[in-house]
Structure 1
Amino acid sequence: MKDMISAEGSLIEVRAPCVIVGDIHGQNEFKYEDLHRMFVMTGKNGRSGATMRRYLFLGDYVDRGPHSLECICCLFAYKLTFPKMFNLLRGNHEAAFINKNYGFYQELKDRFNESQALLLWKMFNDVFDYLPLAALVQGKILCMHGGIGPRLNKLDDIRNVIIYLLL
């Protein structure tokens, strides 16, 4: 998974049409099934759009909700199965120092023993560290989780961000 994601770079190009999805946060006040219901809503004739639509998720997959593990595993599974149709960007909650304090690490500790939880947390964050920062849809629409910094003035500035330096 890490190799696939790290090969994408910091700015990905996404073809339109695509469904753009904001924060999931482990389905905070909703049920985990809402993620699947969203796929059905964006599908056709009651079938899941997960197999027929292009998706761009803008980050914040974990923390705050009780189902962070299920949500991120579901999205990673779709990314592995449909790598060109599922695009995942990095949000601020995909930073280890944030998701350690806002619920993801605690969720893992509640479900696994301490050493397993720590190992899983490190493994997920190892992948999160390489998620792209932004996407350009059809060469026209710039999408990202948050704003751009004051030193990023051109698309090439985003393309040239070396993700591992952000770690």
Structure 2
Amino acid sequence: MDIDGIIEQLKVMKVPTEREIFLLLSLCEEILIGEGNVVPIYAPVTIIGDIHGQLPDLVTICNEVSKGPYLFLGDYVDRGAYSVETLLLLISLKVRDPDMVTLLRGNHESRQITAVYGFYDECIRKFSNGSSIWRRCCSLFDYLPLVAVIENSIMCVHGGLSPMISKINEIRCIDRCDEVPHEGPICDLLWSDPDDSMEGEWALSPRGAGFLFGKLAVERFLHENNFNGVARAHQLAMEGFRDHFNGGVITVWSAPNYCGRCGNVAAVLKIDEKLNREFVVFGGSEETVLDAEYFI
């Protein structure tokens, strides 16, 4: 298979054949099966937040904003009009050079969410065998790692912390290879949010899944694991990023002008060899397209 050729085609919104897609998914799944729930990452690395099918903006990140290595924090599909191409491009990059690309699971990498917010319908529109491709993609999602740790210092996750997890080793023991559950530690890692105004550690989340967590919960978790901070995505940040709890938690958002109407800029977070942080902020591509039916 000509991986380089497929990557170049995907960058200009040309999808591979269905046979090539199934082969790509199988090759990527083999790589992901060999990765643990917690992936060790070496600096330097560029951390990238939600993409949500905004393929031109992903191409901008790879071509202009940063050359990698890359750590993607999840939510590759749904809402944007090019979820198929976005996911396939990331998978192709992972297959071509597994050590240069780390893909974590987001809350949208699930059957229940993608059946509602666009990815399933996009597969049906774009392929004669769309339902089978969607099911195969969802099977791949089950093998995506939950967490990455940069230089034993910065924990990276899509959503946030869990009241059921105090030590990073507890995440390593989870059986991740299944649909995202409605509750429990996997759900919390993918759905939880920081709340800067909280006085306590935990509160119920208005999302209906996961928890809100406060400064005390963050301080306890960082102390227990000897970490310097948490990098996560999951929440729209109008300036592309947001600092919580004096740098204890950082939100990175990488989908500019989200859904074609939010007017936000986006950012990636670069971590250098000394673990210094640098945000690179960028605007949206003129080609960003909204799949308006699925904007909420």
TM range (shorter): 0.7 to 0.9
Counterpart Cα distance in 1 of 2:34 and 2:175? 12
Q: Counting helix residues as a fraction of each chain, which structure ranks higher?
A: 1
Counterpart Cα distance in 1 of 2:71 and 2:145? 11
SS of 2:75 mapped into structure 1? coil
Query: What is the aligned partner in structure 2 of residue 75 from structure 1?
Result: 90
The answer to whether the aligner puts 1:7 opposite 2:30 as a matched pair is no
Query: What is the aligned partner in structure 1 of residue 47 from structure 2?
Result: 20
1:7-156 map, 5 Å: 7-27=34-54, 32-43=55-66, 49=67, 53-113=68-128, 116-156=129-169
Amino acid at match of 1:86: V
The number of residues matched between the two structures is 153
Shift of 1:33: 2.2
Counterpart Cα distance in 2 of 1:126 and 1:154? 28
Counterpart Cα distance in 2 of 1:157 and 1:147? 15
Shift of 1:35: 1.2
Counterpart Cα distance in 2 of 1:153 and 1:166? 23
SS of 1:92 mapped into structure 2? coil
Identity across the alignment (%): 40
Counterpart Cα distance in 1 of 2:36 and 2:162? 18
SS of 2:31 mapped into structure 1? helix
Amino acid at match of 1:145: H
Alpha-carbon spacing, 1:166–1:66, altered in 2? closer, same or farther (3 Å):
closer
Question: Which structure 1 residue ranges, 5 or more long, are not aligned?
Answer: 44-48
Alpha-carbon spacing, 1:152–1:122, altered in 2? closer, same or farther (3 Å):
same
Amino acid at match of 2:30: D
TM-score normalised by the chain length of structure 2:
0.50
Alpha-carbon spacing, 1:63–1:165, altered in 2? closer, same or farther (3 Å):
closer
Amino acid at match of 1:59: G
Task: Please tell me whether Structure 1 or Structure 2 has the larger radius of gyration of its CA atoms.
Answer: 2
Counterpart Cα distance in 1 of 2:88 and 2:164? 34
- Aligned-pair RMSD on alpha carbons? 1.3
Amino acid at match of 2:63: V
Q: For each residue in 1:30-53, what CA deviation from the matched residue of structure 2 results, as whole angstroms up to 9, or x when unmatched?
A: xx222111112234xxxxx1xxx2
TM-score normalised by the chain length of structure 1:
0.87
Amino acid at match of 2:48: V
SS of 1:164 mapped into structure 2? coil
Q: Counting strand residues as a fraction of each chain, which structure ranks higher?
A: 2
| 4+ runs deviating over 4 angstroms | none
Shift of 1:165: 5.3
Shift of 1:151: 0.9
Amino acid at match of 1:34: D
